[in-house]
Chains A and B, each alone.
Chain A
Amino acid sequence: MNTGARRVREWLIERAIQAAGAMAIVFVLAIFAFLLRDALPVFRETTVRDLATGRTWLPTAEPPKLGLLPLLLGSLYVTIGALLISVPLGVACAAFISEVAPRWMRETLKPAVEVLATIPSVVFGFLGLLLVGPWLAELLDLDVPLFAGLGSLMLAFMAMPMIVSLSEDAIRAVPMTLRQNSLALGATQWQTIWRVVLPAGRSGIIAAVLLGMGRAIGETMTVLMVTGNAAVIPLGLPGFLRPVRTMTATIAAEMGETAYNTPHYHALFAIGLLLFIITFAANTIADVVVRRSGRTTR
């Protein structure tokens, strides 16, 4: 082949590669633009204030009642509950894997956690619905087998692999000299973990928690199947034992039966937009936290 033609061909290929590289940005913008396009018409029906503070979600009523408060609080309840379970357990598990576990155990635990991450969310929903929910309802003597706390519990175990592996990375990145200095000063191994290693890995752990939160709030199938889907505002601690309906579950349950270009359709896209913004914020903050800590430890 002559060199001129080859140069042209390589130039074309390299431009294509460059375009592919920038594609991630294009897709993020495209998702945002399409959500915006189909969400904005909802404001012909309602206002931002009414969406955010409306206490009733009856999208098929005449006129439709499009209050997102119950859904927002439903998502918040389930997510906070999930984090309350998964953060302490996950960070402890990460500390165990990287600092305490004997070698053979580390080699078993890490792949086991990875396998856990591959279980589809619909399967967690299925197991919650058929097995864990009825069992917990009997154990705790509840009126209903599907409730917010069950969603939290199932989500906690789904978010766990992410929290464990990211926290473990953060803990592992703490320089060995810090541990050695602490031990040389006479601290026990546990004192070293608690007072030196975990604080030093703090920002990575915070990032793991943020990403876990983004994961939990965006999780769909599990919560759709196990939280009971009642669009009521959860109140206080007993709220965890009553059915709720999350934002994700609302979209998944209703979009299939919603006619194109109705207020209901636009309201569901508005929920999607809100979810996108929340997870975008969580991911971006986590990314910034990780990068900043990377700079300071060096």
Chain B
Amino acid sequence: MKGTQSMHRPQRLGPRATQAAAFAALWAAAALVLLPVAAILGVMFVRGGRAISWELLSSAEDGLLPSIVGTVTLVALTAVIAAPLGIAAAVYLREYAPRGPLVRLIRLAIVNLAGVPSVVYGLFGLALFVTLLGFGRCLLAGACTLALLALPLVITASEEALRQVPERLRAASFALGATRWQTVRRIVLPNALPGIITGLILSMGRAAGETAPILFTAAFIALTKPFPSSVLDPIEALPFKLYYMATEAHGITEDAKWATASVLVGLVLTINLVAVITRARLRGARRW
């Protein structure tokens, strides 16, 4: 067998040499996935870092402050809307739901919700929140739209956190005569809290960078009133500002564009870092 094969393909590599070549290719693939992106992000931070000034960050007229404040407010309101819904849904799926077709259907819906293109969320937000409910293009409409987008992430992360709570804690609580809700509230939720909060913060990191969903539901450029005073006020937002600066604006320096991009990525990375630190700190306090 081996003989005939090597007659047909005389230069065929031996299995060892093939493995060496294949492994080299795998190393190269891993490098190719990460290094180019790391390199261009590096360029961005170097150029942006040089251009960032206190004036650019803090000026309300031509600086980034309104966009930063807008994005932070937007994300905070998104969290306020998405957290109760998402955590309750996760509690249902993990602690209450009987196995069956309904749960199967809910999970399929969550997977699909996670896959809906972000611009389609924007259309939905425009049709429902902006137009039908009459919010107008504002903070609230944007937050509702982003909350919907974040919901599958919050549910999935919360469910994972609930899954990590050992079954014996529930059993002990039931054995003491606690009802299901008492067990959930006093035992399961407090123990799952670190994971739930981490997941929530990570989802907000994602929401902070989203542009398409707020394009027609919340975001404006160069508002005369740069800071919102009610949830029905329009806002500026960092990702939208970056999009605008990169594509439409004339007379904006390259430096300002790179600085804005760096601030946005810096903000998103900071949110993610906060999530990681939160997890580490809250986990440290827990012993199972």
Contacts and interface: CB of A to CB of B under 8 A. Distances in A.
B201 to A, nearest CB: 12
B97 A34 contact: no
A284 interface: yes
B179 interface: yes
A180 interface: no
Interface stretch (A43-51, A53-61, A66-74, A87-95): A87-95
- Secondary structure class of chain B's binding surface, majority of residues: helix
A115 B117 CA distance: 21
B110 A24 contact: yes
B157 to A, nearest CB: 13
Interface string A159-188: 010001000000000000000000000011
Contacts, number: 254
B155 A24 contact: yes
Contacts of B69: none
B174 interface: no
B117 A218 contact: yes
Given A24-B106, A31-B124, A34-B127, A123 B261 contact: yes
A125 B210 CA distance: 12
Interface in B86-139: 88-89, 91-93, 96-97, 102, 105-124, 126-128, 131
Interface residues of B toward A: which range? 35 or more
B50 to A, nearest CB: 15
Interface residues of A, number: 85
A3 to B, nearest CB: 10
A280 B148 contact: no
A37 B258 CA distance: 41
A92 B128 contact: no
Contacts of A122: 209, 211, 239, 242-243, 264
A116 interface: yes
Name which of B22, B117, B126, B208 has the most chain A CB atoms within 10 A of its CB.
B117
A14 to B, nearest CB: 6
Nearest to A261: B131
